[in-house]
Structure 1
Amino acid sequence: MDWLGLQFITELPRSGQVILNCTHDPFLVLAAYLVACAASFATLDTAERVGHADNPTSQRLWRWVGAACLAGGLWTMHFIGMLAFQVPLEVHYRLPTILLSLFFAFGASLLAMYSLGQPRHTLWQYVRTSVWIGFGIASMHYVGMAALQSSAKAYYQPGLFVLSILIGIAASLATLSIARHLRDGSGMFHQLLKYATSLVLGAGIIGMHFTAMAALNLVVPVGSVLIAPSANNHLQLGLTVAVIMLLIIGSVISAALADKKLQNKERDLRRVNALLSQLDQARMSLQQVAHYDALTNLINRRGFNQIFAEKLIEKTTEGGMLAVMFLDIDHFKRINDSLGHDAGDELLKVIAHHIKGSVRSHDDVVARFGGDEFCILIGLREREEARHMAQRIMLKMKEPIELAGRRMVMTTSIGISLFPEDGNTCEDLLKNADLALYQSKGSGRNSLHFFSSNMKTRATLELQLEEELRYALREEAGLMLYYQPIYDLKTGQVTKLEALIRWQHPVLGLLPPDRFISIAENNGLIAELDNWVLRKACEDLGTLSRQGCEELKIAVNCSPLNLAREELADEIEHALRLAGVAPQRLELEVTENALMGNIANTLVLLRQIRALGVSLSIDDFGTGYSSLAYLKRLPLNTLKIDRSFIQDIPKATQDMEIVQAIIVMAHTLHLQVVTEGVETLEQYEFLERHGCDFVQGYLLSRPVSLEELLPVLHEINQRKHSHSVSPLSLARGITALTSPDPFPKSPGPHGGGSVVRPIR
């Protein structure tokens, strides 16, 4: 086979010709190997740049730079290898054929760079591409060999010829495979691995070249004139070309390294920008969380305070009015307790929508402070604008709301403070609006109130009383018990006493319970106060026992809040044991509303108290919402009729019928009946005539201290005439013993005996 003057398959002539022995210059062989290694390294480096380039233009640029570098390296390696080839005759090279070989080198290199630039290839694609690249490199070599001109004729050994092509294909496949794994690496190990790979690939390329050279045989016909080679500088030329190519390859590698650093900086900059963007989003999210309520999407207290401060500065500078409105949903806790917190959350969303829809514009600020508490900040021209808006909100709130399959109507209490009339700072205005809200809630709810200065005075006084009450409880200073007799109509004796608390304030004098009981309930002191009353009553009962009143009982009021505490039974047992008093001599009075508040838990606690031997009385009966179905299940001993049913007897016929019915019902349930607030002889005779068991009121005695009690009891008990009391003797006794109690009984526990002044 003859191609470009080269014999590939043709057998060597058997006679008449001379086969020349050729050698290679080892220094130029080493230079060719270094160029091949450098070209391999540059190829791997530029392949990374193609893979990491961010835009198609950069990818295309580095692909062409890599192809030119690889083609130049391969061709230079081949050129130096040819210069290293030493033939014992004169040789020349054809320039066009040399340039043609460079074309094949560039084509193979460009195909290699396109393949290296692809992110993923299958094994078959790698093999197919490697075959083409191998054939391209082999074509470059053998076309370059065809440029050699001499008197000898070139013959190639077929086996080594095929092997050289296979080595080129294998080197190409190795380059493609290794470059894929080196594309995404970094660090010192990655760089060392790239160096080692370059040495191996360089060996493969140089191996392919010298395998092809080993397949070459130069044959000179017999009789041909052998022209000795002229003096040449192949070594100097080869080294010069090697140095130039290495410099070019080094420049490409340096450019690739600089581009890599620049790209890393750009990537770092993008990462920093991405992080800054994420931080900005996180800041906005945190700001949303910090200044907005997650449930209703209204601003929260912190966001409201920030806007409020800005509005105050604006109004202070430019003039104008602001209104701060506190809103509290009436009886919202019942929704959470009965329907669950999820239903409560849904209700809050609806209410927030109602409030937001009731304000005038985006200039009005609506915030949720937490729970069921909302706050509105609006600009005003006159005071009545705030009232009209509050009324509009209250009207909107009365629209029925569908929730958990139920149709319900909610109401709200509103407190309003005005700038600059009620304060000049955010703190003062919010505090004053809260005081006005407290007034609205205390007035029966579903109402609105503007702040007034007397609210602040009252709040300051209550705060002071709270602090002094804590001190009085801690030091047991100033608190005392008064006792009001409870008269047994059947025996004509005082068999019970009701313990009523008083507070001897160091400045304000003797305070009635309605001045401090609500303070104790609102500030978590009621349990401690009730416990003090219980211990003191048991202690006084022990003192009375030692004075000859061994059968006397004492009734102690229990706050509704205290009745919900599981520790109450243990505290009662401890107080009785400490005072050495029998449990049967203690009676606990609870209101019917307290009993019905949580009937299941209350029933368990009452049974524990009854198990101790303590009697139970239901106080103020008729004023709450007792259920007779539950009433018969409660372990009660006594039922106390509220004084409101007695005060108009005998004038009120309807009240007389109600009292008769209560007495009959109580006896049917095997309960004893106590009627409080008995003021007149007519009331006494009516109750005695209709079977009432006990009476209590100013007709018998006002509440007195323990020191005054024994003479009062002795005088009342001396007026016994069989099973009745003489009206005349009662009247005379009352004139001598009773004087007006300055503290009429309050609706809550620990009250006095009556709200009506006694008979004189």
Structure 2
Amino acid sequence: MDWLGLHFLPSMPANGRILLQCSHNPPLILLAYLVACAASFATLDMAERIGHVDNVNARLRWRALGALCLAVGIWAMHFISMLSFRAPLDTHYDLPVTIASLAIALVSGMVAMEALSYPQLRPGHYLAASVCMGLGITAMHYLGMSAMHSSATQYYEPVRFAGSILVAIASSLAALILAIRLRRGSGMFHQLLKYGASLVLGAGIVSTHFMGMWALHLVVPDGTQMQMPATENSLQLSLTIALIVMLIIAGSVSAALADKKLQAKEHDLRRVNALLSQLDQARASLQQVAHYDALTNLINRRGFNQIFAERLMEQNLANGMLAVMFLDVDHFKRINDSLGHDAGDELLKVIAGRIRGATRANDVVARFGGDEFCILIALQDIEEARQMAQRVMTKMKDPIALAGRRMVMTTSIGVSIYPADGDTCDELLKNADLALYQSKGNGRNTLYFFNEALKNKASLALHLEEQLRNALTEGQGLQLFYQPIVDLQTGHVAKLEALVRWQHPLHGLLTPDRFIAIAETNGLIAELDNWVLRQACMDLAQLCDNGFEKLVIAVNCSALNLAREELAQEIDAALKEAGVPPQRLELEVTENALMGNISNTVLLLNEIRKLGVALSIDDFGTGYSSLAYLKRLPLDTVKIDRSFIIDIPTSTQDMEIVQAIIVMAHTLHLKVVTEGVETPAQLEFLSEYGCNYVQGYLFSKPAPLEALRPLVQQLNQRKPSELWPSTHLLDAVEMSMGEPIRPGGRRETGHPRPDRFRSRPHR
């Protein structure tokens, strides 16, 4: 039977015979297997390169090279295997047919590399490609077999023939699957897998050839003379073909390896470039973060200082002038507390835009943090700075729509000038801050230029702060003065108000207005309050020993100290340490201090009241004066401020106010103390309208406890109708104090009393 020019055994002629003395040369078979394995490895390597290359032209080149390696490898394996075939016949090969078989092998290789160029293959694609490859390989094999010419006729057994085709298709399918699976990966294990896969694929290719050879039967006519051909030429030709093919495969693999290394270097270079680009972006971002405020997009303190140093150097060389303006938004904290921080941030953005809009293009505007801004401008004269500040203040007063409200914000500004107010950045900024402090301390919404007086004041404050800290640490220099509080019912001294003084080694005796604000600003007020409390309790113990068992001492409490939860425990500890009953201590707090946080204040005052300590509200009428709050507080006494007494009896309005306060306090079951009593007319008015206690220069100025003891003893022996101290008694007290105390002598009228130990506004 003949099919496509092939002869099959059922059609073998009757006058022929089959040759049985055929064999193969084992070394050449091994050489053919090695060539097949090398071709398989090269194919896998080319497939890997195709999977890692993005350039289209490069992919085409690697596909062509892979097809060449696969084709010449399979063809060389077939040709070397044919040369290893030994039959007792004189054989030779038809060169055109042999070259045609190589062309078929190239087509099969191209089909294989085309399939491997896709990232993924479906099962149908795998099958179609493997069938095409298998048919190509078998076509190449049987066409190469037909190139072998001899006196014998080639016949094939049909079943084995079909088996060779199936083996070729199966080998092709295995090659495709392994090539696609192994083209992604790296490392030693991946390389070992490629070597193992190459051995398996080489065995499959060789199996295809020898399956076809197993199906082959050579039939010679009867009477044909047999002879064994020489093997030297076959061996030389096989080695030559193997060497050429190995060189081609080795060159291809080397090129793939070199390209892989080059691509890895390019990849590393791209990564390095990407990292450098990211570093540049990160550096730019850090520069932005380091020198600009994220909320307002103005430069921050760091960026401002850098520009300030550069501008200062420029103006120094040009003998020019600079102005540094510190701006602080007035009462900004109330916005955060009432509307929330988000609203506060939106307000800061608007304010920053308005400040920027009021300045010139070359002016530097920075946000230092919170609600503080700074402007740096070059100028010809100081008036430019004043005009700039006024423009900013005017711009700020435009209504701002925020959270459904329309509000007007103001700003306080402090200005320092280079070179008049300093020649360094730090000095100019510090001086502008001092000017701002002065602006805020004088009512806000104002403009102040720096002057030396501010610097001297700041230096003095720093000096006093250091020495006050030492005085508290060492317990030296501080002392308590007392002022009597007289009961109008009995005419006796019922209480003594404790007032702190500081005997400074250079400045003499300092009243609280000189150092209380310093203590509050620098965190010393709690320690100072505690010292006053303990000293007053020890003085109470001394009074008990001297026969004043019923005398009460009133101690003032700072607004900042009233916010501390530890206050009740400190009061209890001071009383227990001195061994005096709590009923003999009274705590005076100002009206504004009570209203700071009314809920917490009520809780704290209740704790103090549970100890047995009396509570008094000081300076009543100067603050909120809210009856709704007043009735909630556990108070015992209301003290009327001296500002309502000073013009009595000439001021009818003040008389009516004081009368109303007394009636209101009595309605709430509170006692009334009036301070600042200096004339008999004032005393008579207060006595007439039911005031409970009076205090003032009419009886005594504040004095040390030892100096007041004779006055207290004398007053406690007099009748209510004899409230005016006798002349000889006052003379005795004056001699002990070294200064006049009676009315008409040297008094501190005309100014607010410096004796109050209370909170004062401070920056």
What TM-score, normalized to structure 2?
Answer: 0.94
Q: Give the equivalent residue in structure 2 for 1:675.
A: 674
Q: Name the amino acid aligned to 1:172.
A: S
Q: Give the equivalent residue in structure 2 for 1:88.
A: 88
Cα distance, 1:251 vs. partner? 1.3
CA distance in 1 between counterparts of 2:420 and 2:205 reads 95
CA distance in 1 between counterparts of 2:370 and 2:495 reads 46
Q: Give the equivalent residue in structure 1 for 2:371.
A: 372
Q: Name the amino acid aligned to 1:424.
A: D
Q: Give the equivalent residue in structure 1 for 2:79.
A: 79
Instruction: List per-residue Cα deviations over 1:351-378 (Å, max 9, x = no partner).
Output: 22222222221x2222222222222222
Answering whether residue 708 of structure 2 is matched by residue 709 of structure 1, we say: yes
Report the 3-state secondary structure (helix = DSSP H, G, I; strand = E; otherwise coil) of the residue aligned with 1:11: helix
CA distance in 2 between counterparts of 1:595 and 1:82 reads 113
Alignment of 1:141-540 (within 5 A): 141-224=141-224, 229=229, 233-361=233-361, 363-540=362-539
Q: Name the amino acid aligned to 2:200.
A: V
Q: Give the equivalent residue in structure 2 for 1:97.
A: 97
CA distance in 1 between counterparts of 2:121 and 2:379 reads 74
Structure 1 residues 107, 129: CA separation in 2 closer, same or farther (over 3 Å shift)? same
Cα distance, 1:563 vs. partner? 0.6
Q: Give the equivalent residue in structure 1 for 2:580.
A: 581
Q: Name the amino acid aligned to 2:757.
A: H
Q: Give the equivalent residue in structure 1 for 2:618.
A: 619
Q: Name the amino acid aligned to 1:520.
A: A
Report the 3-state secondary structure (helix = DSSP H, G, I; strand = E; otherwise coil) of the residue aligned with 1:368: strand
Alignment of 1:645-660 (within 5 A): 645-660=644-659
CA distance in 2 between counterparts of 1:405 and 1:730 reads 67
Q: Give the equivalent residue in structure 2 for 1:758.
A: none
Q: Name the amino acid aligned to 1:701.
A: S
Structure 1 residues 80, 128: CA separation in 2 closer, same or farther (over 3 Å shift)? same
Is the contact between residue 87 and residue 228 of structure 2 (CA under 8 Å) also seen in structure 1?
no
Structure 2, unaligned runs of 5 or more: 735-739
CA distance in 2 between counterparts of 1:726 and 1:521 reads 39
Cα distance, 1:502 vs. partner? 0.5
Is the contact between residue 700 and residue 716 of structure 1 (CA under 8 Å) also seen in structure 2?
no
Q: Name the amino acid aligned to 1:101.
A: S
Cα distance, 1:381 vs. partner? 2.1
Instruction: List per-residue Cα deviations over 1:386-442 (Å, max 9, x = no partner).
Output: 222222222222233333333332222111112222111111111111111111111
* Runs (4+) off by over 6 Å: none
Is the contact between residue 590 and residue 758 of structure 2 (CA under 8 Å) also seen in structure 1?
no
The correspondence for 1:724, drawn from 721, 725, 733, is 721
Q: Name the amino acid aligned to 1:325.
A: M
Structure 1 residues 510, 31: CA separation in 2 closer, same or farther (over 3 Å shift)? same
Structure 1 residues 297, 122: CA separation in 2 closer, same or farther (over 3 Å shift)? same
Cα distance, 1:287 vs. partner? 2.2
Instruction: List per-residue Cα deviations over 1:679-718 (Å, max 9, x = no partner).
Output: 1121111111111111111111111112201122234345
Is the contact between residue 6 and residue 153 of structure 1 (CA under 8 Å) also seen in structure 2?
no
Q: Name the amino acid aligned to 1:305.
A: N
CA distance in 2 between counterparts of 1:747 and 1:622 reads 18
CA distance in 1 between counterparts of 2:699 and 2:622 reads 24
Structure 1 residues 748, 268: CA separation in 2 closer, same or farther (over 3 Å shift)? farther
Report the 3-state secondary structure (helix = DSSP H, G, I; strand = E; otherwise coil) of the residue aligned with 1:233: helix
Cα distance, 1:664 vs. partner? 1.0
Report the 3-state secondary structure (helix = DSSP H, G, I; strand = E; otherwise coil) of the residue aligned with 2:721: coil
CA distance in 2 between counterparts of 1:683 and 1:230 reads 151
Structure 1, unaligned runs of 5 or more: 753-760
Instruction: List per-residue Cα deviations over 1:110-136 (Å, max 9, x = no partner).
Output: 111121122111122112111111111
Q: Name the amino acid aligned to 1:368.
A: R
Report the 3-state secondary structure (helix = DSSP H, G, I; strand = E; otherwise coil) of the residue aligned with 2:360: coil
Cα distance, 1:317 vs. partner? 2.1
CA distance in 1 between counterparts of 2:137 and 2:266 reads 37
Answering whether residue 753 of structure 2 is matched by residue 750 of structure 1, we say: no
Q: Give the equivalent residue in structure 1 for 2:39.
A: 39
CA distance in 1 between counterparts of 2:272 and 2:104 reads 46
CA distance in 2 between counterparts of 1:323 and 1:542 reads 60
CA distance in 2 between counterparts of 1:72 and 1:117 reads 20
Is the contact between residue 473 and residue 529 of structure 1 (CA under 8 Å) also seen in structure 2?
yes
Cα distance, 1:588 vs. partner? 0.7
Cα distance, 1:732 vs. partner? 7.4
Is the contact between residue 488 and residue 693 of structure 2 (CA under 8 Å) also seen in structure 1?
yes
CA distance in 2 between counterparts of 1:523 and 1:724 reads 48
Q: Give the equivalent residue in structure 2 for 1:755.
A: none
Q: Give the equivalent residue in structure 1 for 2:133.
A: 133
Report the 3-state secondary structure (helix = DSSP H, G, I; strand = E; otherwise coil) of the residue aligned with 2:401: strand
Greater CA drift, 134-143 or 738-747: 738-747
Is the contact between residue 511 and residue 755 of structure 2 (CA under 8 Å) also seen in structure 1?
no
Identity %: 66
Report the 3-state secondary structure (helix = DSSP H, G, I; strand = E; otherwise coil) of the residue aligned with 1:357: helix
CA distance in 2 between counterparts of 1:713 and 1:204 reads 125
CA distance in 2 between counterparts of 1:489 and 1:443 reads 40
Report the 3-state secondary structure (helix = DSSP H, G, I; strand = E; otherwise coil) of the residue aligned with 2:482: strand
Q: Give the equivalent residue in structure 1 for 2:737.
A: none
Report the 3-state secondary structure (helix = DSSP H, G, I; strand = E; otherwise coil) of the residue aligned with 2:649: coil
Structure 1 residues 394, 732: CA separation in 2 closer, same or farther (over 3 Å shift)? farther
Q: CA RMSD in A?
A: 2.0
Cα distance, 1:641 vs. partner? 0.7
Report the 3-state secondary structure (helix = DSSP H, G, I; strand = E; otherwise coil) of the residue aligned with 2:595: helix
Structure 1 residues 657, 551: CA separation in 2 closer, same or farther (over 3 Å shift)? same
Structure 1 residues 231, 138: CA separation in 2 closer, same or farther (over 3 Å shift)? closer
Is the contact between residue 171 and residue 201 of structure 2 (CA under 8 Å) also seen in structure 1?
yes
Cα distance, 1:601 vs. partner? 0.7
Report the 3-state secondary structure (helix = DSSP H, G, I; strand = E; otherwise coil) of the residue aligned with 2:559: coil
Q: Give the equivalent residue in structure 1 for 2:62.
A: 62
Q: Name the amino acid aligned to 1:234.
A: S
